[in-house]
């Protein structure tokens, strides 16, 4: 070996050693997810005990806005806290996990909301033309119209935030660092769809629709770089179901609605007890959404490569950014 080659070989840094605990992106994804779950479960249990005592004292009805706030807090606060702790450990931010607060309620959020509500309205109009839906009369008047519209708008967003950030926040990002984006997207989408099987009347097309919805919004996340457009899509859909048209939302109904829609006809067209999400017409709509977003949104913006790559922490441990 020439002297120059020998000196270069001696001066070259040693190759990194990866093992069962540590990989190229710091602590392996599986271990980080186990830590996340270990944080989330006791936090959720503690919140469950607190909220259960409070709801019993207040005789809260989960079909009302107040009852929904308590129910959402049961899961949303532990999720945010556990994600924040993991971010501190890994030296990452909420933006790295798909939720940059500086982009909150920006243009893409409202674009998603407009597309979602208009699509949902068209879906119900098609059902009306098919003879399986009646919109009913206006059920609210005066101040109640605005009061419940605002209340369900807030709750529709909180419900979207809980579901989207759970399946497409820390969970999706961490799986992506371990197995790649689209395999992680498939896993989280199937998980979300599978959980809808346990909803009331969830034994039909509801879980299939939930899986398709998750895949479509994961595509939106991939192209936009964050969850704000998916949140707009989800929040507006919730608001249309729970408040504006009063249809079943994934097996659940709500009080304080503008119209009083009712279905009659084949569950294949109406979605049955699960609601219009489980309609074969909604599966067609989701496929159309997939085409629209594929053509409309260009480029790949998620995940941020700088957030995925390992960065040494100040004390030299496994923390990443």
68-92 tens-digit pLDDT: 655 666 778 899 999 999 999 999 9
94 φ, ψ to 5°? -60, -30
143-165 helix and 65-90 helix, angle to the nearest 10 degrees: 30
Dihedral sign (CA 63, 66, 67, 70): positive
pLDDT at 103 over 90: yes
* Residues 188, 165: Cα–Cα separation, whole Å: 11
Kindly report the pTM of this predicted structure. 0.86
SS3 content of the chain, % helix, strand, coil (to 5): 65, 5, 30
Per-residue pLDDT of 33-63, as tens digits, reads 999 999 999 998 887 776 666 666 655 555 5
Beta strands in 124-271 (DSSP E): 133-134, 262-263
- Of 267, 274, 221, 208, which is closest to residue 247 (Cα–Cα)? 274
Q: Identify the weakest region by mean pLDDT among 24-28, 189-193, 294-298.
A: 24-28
* Residues 32, 22: Cα–Cα separation, whole Å: 10
- Using an 8 Å Cβ cutoff, are 293 and 219 in contact? yes
- Using an 8 Å Cβ cutoff, are 223 and 298 in contact? yes
Return left, alpha or beta for 315; rule: phi > 0 is left, psi -120 to 50 is alpha, else beta. alpha
pLDDT at 296 over 90: yes
Burial bucket for residue 84 (CB in 10 Å: 0-12, 13-18, 19+): middle
Beta strands in the chain (DSSP E): 22-23, 26-27, 133-134, 262-263
């Amino acid at each position: 070996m020439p002297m120059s080659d020998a000196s270069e070989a001696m001066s070259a840094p040693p190759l990194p050693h990866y093992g069962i605990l540590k990989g190229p992106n710091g602590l392996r994804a599986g271990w980080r997810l186990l830590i996340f779950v270990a944080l989330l479960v006791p936090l959720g249990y503690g919140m469950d005990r607190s909220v259960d005592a409070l709801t019993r004292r207040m005789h809260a009805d989960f079909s009302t806005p107040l009852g929904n706030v308590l129910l959402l807090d049961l899961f949303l606060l532990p999720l945010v806290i556990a994600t924040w702790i993991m971010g501190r450990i890994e030296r990452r931010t909420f933006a790295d996990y798909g939720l940059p607060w500086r982009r909150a309620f920006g243009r893409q959020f409202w674009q998603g909301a407009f597309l979602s509500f208009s699509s949902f309205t068209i879906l119900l109009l098609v059902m009306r033309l098919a003879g399986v839906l009646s919109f009913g009369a206006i059920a609210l008047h005066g101040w109640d119209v605005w009061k419940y519209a605002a209340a369900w708008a807030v709750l529709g967003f909180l419900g979207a935030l809980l579901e989207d950030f759970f399946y497409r926040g820390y969970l999706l990002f961490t799986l992506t660092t371990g197995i790649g984006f689209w395999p992680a997207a498939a896993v989280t989408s199937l998980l979300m769809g599978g959980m809808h099987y346990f909803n009331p009347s969830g034994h039909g097309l509801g879980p299939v629709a939930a899986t398709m919805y998750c895949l479509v919004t994961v595509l939106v996340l991939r192209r936009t770089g964050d969850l704000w457009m998916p949140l707009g899509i989800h929040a507006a859909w919730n608001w249309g179901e729970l408040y504006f048209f009063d249809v079943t939302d994934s097996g659940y109904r709500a009080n304080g609605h503008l119209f009083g829609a009712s279905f009659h006809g084949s569950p294949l067209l109406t979605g049955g007890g699960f609601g219009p999400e489980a309609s074969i017409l909604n599966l067609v709509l989701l496929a159309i959404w997939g085409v629209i977003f594929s053509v409309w949104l260009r480029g790949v913006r998620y995940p941020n490569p700088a957030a995925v790559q390992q960065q040494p922490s100040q004390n030299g441990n496994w923390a990443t950014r």
